[in-house]
């Protein structure tokens, strides 16, 4: 079981290799929402997303022998790019299995950081079978994008930084996909402040976490037809129990709200966030009553936008 | 004649009302350009651009009687929004004369800050005649967007902050339109460090400053057919002599280079800048030899992008 102490140790371990990202505020969005918003800008993080936190925490715990064998992962892109950066920095080869319909910028990101891409079909089964094949062939070490305690501890450092900078938060909203970021956020935030509320923001079009909570067991996504391409993964066996125990609510968000909030952040904060990030503002706007007059931290998880496919 | 002391006094005067904007760096752009780049992010400034600096410096020097009469300006938008914010904060009415083809976001910005918009034709003559008419009618005080010493002193505070934060710069690149920002930058930068090089970046499609320098007198724009909608103004009688005396070079930049550099900044820095800002990177990329291994400050003047008209 991951603890706040694991997150603290992870933070010390990875700090030389990551940015301490800034917190941004916006008067006009405060006015619009009736809340005080604190955006944790991991869109400015190395390799463009929070994923470098967990990837670095994991890679730095591999033995020299493991690094020699190289690492491999399945990823819609951001974890792949992050792992490529984290592992090549330690001299390891990196293979990244990606759906062939991944956005161009995410493909370029993986390649920029030295990762070798292995394409698969855009579904869970193809990803997993390709992974098994490649591990048999190359004996590379699998670094799972989220279902790994080292990853969870690493991702928790974003919320830790947020609460160190803004201690009096009433609530935090994090995106949820495979659950690495949300479970890390829950452990960090509730560990540092037992009274804080923590919410997950999930696309209605990929709502396995929401339904899994309702059914008290992991159920698969029915669709992954969401523009939030970082939020199409299936909740994990390690992350789900943490979320089930600690989360206050998973807020389902429509595609329209994801896109509207993305545009709003671009226009008002003047920063680039991907739809998988803007969903946290979409969640807040859909549940304004819950956050009225509250101080709310919103984790902007990444900024790797495909500028050839802007959704308006 | 504006001096560094005027800029220092302006800075003290306006500091409570503006953001001290951050400096951003980007390893991948350093690698690409062969220079060390320091981006001064006035795209994060209040009302979305550097214009609040000069507008605030001017409004704070108006008498109570002048404030009662209200203020008026011609503007492609950013100065209008800034003046609206600066003047309504002091209880003054604000009228803004804008071309009817101004981008929607700039119109909204002026309205958001309480300015009343008066539309005119998109040419210099119509703007000026509308201004004269409205001043006769309302006796409002004209706050010119750039051809005013108070404006020049205010705009110079951006470069002052930049050099306070990064003292060892070899060069600064600023956009040039009417010349308020460039002349203020020149006075601040050369005043603080006589050895620093200062360059203006100007669209080839609105190159009156470049040609005026060549001809040693103010000549009009031949075209203003540029996507950089903040850079279509005519160089001023107050700003031109300062530029003529102090600037190292005006670098003309193509539309293609403006657009490419805008996309590059969005993708790499993860921040929103308008084309009138990204032109500084376009200028640097077109003259790489000039900046090789140099520490270069780039003033990102604004972030008010029309997201319905992204140019790629």
Q: What is the mean pLDDT of residues A68-97?
A: 94
Helix, strand, coil fractions of chain B, as percent rounded to 5: 50, 15, 35
Distances (CA, A) of A308 to A152, A183, B31, B311: 32, 32, 24, 11
Per CB-CB distance under 8 Å, the chain A contacts of B308 are 312
Kind plus residue range of the DSSP H or E element containing A215: helix A208-215
Judge: B44–A266 Cβ closer than 8 Å, yes or no: no
Distance from CA of A303 to the nearest CA of B (A): 6
In angstroms, the separation between the Cα of residue A219 and the nearest Cα of chain B is 35
pTM: 0.94
Do residues A300 and A280 lie in contact, with contact meaning Cβ atoms separated by under 8 Å?
yes
Phi-psi region of B247 (alpha: psi -120 to 50; beta: other; left: phi over 0): beta
CA atoms within 13 A on the CB side of B294: 18
Q: Does A137 lie at the interface with B, CB-CB under 8 angstroms?
A: no
Q: Does residue A119 belong to the interface with chain B, where contact is any CB pair within 8 Å?
A: no
Q: Give the other-Cβ count within 10 Å of A41's Cβ.
A: 22
Whether residue B281 contacts residue B298, with contact meaning beta carbons closer than 8 Å, is answered with yes
- Residue A45 pLDDT greater than 70, yes or no: yes
- Cβ neighbours of A28 in B, within 8 Å: 112
Q: Is B48 on the interface with A (CB under 8 A)?
A: yes
Domains within chain A, CATH numbers bracketed: 4-50+148-300 (3.40.50.1100), 52-142 (3.40.50.1100)
Q: What is the mean pLDDT of chain A?
A: 96
Q: Is the Cα dihedral B133, B134, B140, B143 positive or negative? A: negative
- Beta carbons within 10 angstroms of residue B244's beta carbon: 17
Q: Is the pLDDT of residue A299 over 70?
A: yes
What order do you get walking across the sheet with A171-175 strand by strand? A23-24, A36-41, A295-300, A171-175, A197-203, A249-253
Q: ipTM of this model? A: 0.92
Q: Report, as an integer, the average pLDDT of A15-30.
A: 96
| Best A50, A108, A109, A267 residue to mutate vs chain B (most B CBs within 10 Å) | A267
Of A156, A170, A168, nearest in space to A4 by CA: A156
Instruction: Give the CA dihedral B227, B228, B233, B239, nearest 10 degrees.
Output: -160
Residue A37 has pLDDT above 70, yes or no: yes
**Does any CB of chain A come closer than 8 Å to the CB of residue B272?**
yes
B76: annotated active-site residue: yes
Instruction: Dump pLDDT digits (tens) for A188-205.
Output: 999 999 999 999 999 999
Per-residue pLDDT of chain B (312 residues; tens, 9 = 90+): 899 999 999 999 999 999 999 999 999 999 999 999 999 999 999 999 999 999 999 999 999 999 999 999 988 689 999 999 999 999 999 999 998 988 787 788 899 999 999 999 988 899 899 999 999 999 999 999 999 999 999 999 999 999 999 999 999 999 999 999 999 999 999 999 999 999 999 999 999 999 999 999 999 999 999 999 899 999 999 999 999 999 999 999 999 999 999 999 999 999 999 999 999 999 999 999 999 999 999 999 999 998 988 999
Indicate yes or no: CB of A303 within 8 angstroms of CB of B270. yes
What percentage of chain A exceeds 90 in pLDDT? 91
For B271, nearest residue in chain A (alpha carbons)? A271
Evaluate if residue A76 carries a pLDDT over 70.
Answer: no
* DSSP assigned state of B233: S
Within 8 A of B263 by CB-CB distance, chain A residues are 307
For residues B231 and B203, the answer to whether their CB atoms sit within 8 Å is: yes
Residue of B nearest to A44 (CA): B270
């Amino acid at each position: 079981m991951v603890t706040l102490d694991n997150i603290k140790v992870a933070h010390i371990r990875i700090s030389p290799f990551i940015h301490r990202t800034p917190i941004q505020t916006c008067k006009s969005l405060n006015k619009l929402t009736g809340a005080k918003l604190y955006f944790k800008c991991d869109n400015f993080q190395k390799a463009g997303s929070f994923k470098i936190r967990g990837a670095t925490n994991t890679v730095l715990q591999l033995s020299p022998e493991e690094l020699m064998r190289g690492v491999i992962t399945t990823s819609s892109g951001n974890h792949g790019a992050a792992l490529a950066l984290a592992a090549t920095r330690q001299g390891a080869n990196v293979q990244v299995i990606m759906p062939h319909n991944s956005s161009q910028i995410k493909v370029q990101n993986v390649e920029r950081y030295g990762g070798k891409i292995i394409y698969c079909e855009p579904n869970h089964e193809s990803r997993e079978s390709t992974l098994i094949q490649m591990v048999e062939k190359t004996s590379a070490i699998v670094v799972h994008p989220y279902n790994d305690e080292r990853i969870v501890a690493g991702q928790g450092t974003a919320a830790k930084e947020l609460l160190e900078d803004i201690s009096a938060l009433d609530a935090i909203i994090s995106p949820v996909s495979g659950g690495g970021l949300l479970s890390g956020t829950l452990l960090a935030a509730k560990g540092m402040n037992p009274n804080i509320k923590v919410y997950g923001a999930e696309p209605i079009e990929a709502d396995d976490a929401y339904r899994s909570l309702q059914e008290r067991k992991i159920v698969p996504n029915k669709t992954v037809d969401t523009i939030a391409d970082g939020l199409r993964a299936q909740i994990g066996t390690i992350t789900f129990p943490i979320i089930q125990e600690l989360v206050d609510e998973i807020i389902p968000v429509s595609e329209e709200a994801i896109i509207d909030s993305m545009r709003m952040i671009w226009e008002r904060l003047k920063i680039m966030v991907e739809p998988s990030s803007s969903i946290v503002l979409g969640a807040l706007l859909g549940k304004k009553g819950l956050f009225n007059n509250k101080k709310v931290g919103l984790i902007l998880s990444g900024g790797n936008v495909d500028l050839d496919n802007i959704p308006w």
